[in-house]
Amino acid sequence: MNDSIRTFIAITINGQLRQELHRIQTLYKKNLSGKISWVAQENIHLTLKFLDNISQSQATKIKTILTQISQKNKSFIIRPDTLGAFPNLKNPRVLWVGIKSGQKQLQSLNIQIENQLEQIGFPKNEKSFHPHFTLARIKTIESQENNRPSFAQAEVNTTITSPANKITLFQSKLTPQGAIYTKLFESEFSA
């Protein structure tokens, strides 16, 4: 019997910032159609590392590592930045909002997580870490040749902040209606 679970490590955000990111989503939902998977408002988070399928024994080790990392780090503030896309706004596959404040701390957390998880057999991510909030995953955009939707920089309210005060291990179950995230474990930062 396969007991593996699909997981990722993330920072959760408060309702006010989540509402602002949902407002940006709503602006683009009105102007975009195609095969687009919008992240549900309650699921918006900042991924530190995607783990894919892990066993229960790996989950136990990961929880220990996250506790150790959280005890070495302090709470900080996250402030959103402007809209962006991977690979770019002309050919978007992932629509996201970047981070204005908290970049340094998020980069440090990612390095700590990558280094610690490598010691228990998880390969380091070869792509450079770019902290962001995913708004949508885009397979195709339906548009006329001369009527391609504009991804002009949305006015993100960069005065809204969220405390980053814990690391969370989530399970991600994929369903036809979208991903369902379940908190498996969270560990608060030391202060």
For residue 164, give every residue at least 6 positions away whose Cβ sits within 8 Å of its Cβ, in sequence order, or none. 11, 13, 46, 75, 76, 77, 78, 102, 105, 106, 189
pTM of the full structure: 0.92
Q: What are 73-108's pLDDT values in tens digits?
A: 999 999 999 899 999 888 889 999 999 999 999 999
Structure confidence at residue 1 as a pLDDT band (50, 70, 90): very low
The residues annotated as belonging to the active site are: 45, 132
Cβ neighbours of 175 (radius 10 Å): 7
Angle value at C-alpha 112, between 110 and 115, nearest 5 degrees: 105
Question: Which residues form the domain of 42?
Answer: 5-188
Q: Number of structural domains, the chain?
A: 1
Per the structure block, which two tokens stand in for 169?
């291990």
| CA–CA dist 79, 19 (Å, integer) | 13
117: domain CATH number is 3.90.1140.10
Query: What pLDDT is attached to residue 147?
Result: 47
Share of the chain above pLDDT 70, in %: 92
Grouping H, G, I as helix, E, B as strand and the rest as coil, residue 146 is: coil
If you search the block for the tokens 């408002």, which residue do you land on? 41
pLDDT mean over 138-149: 66
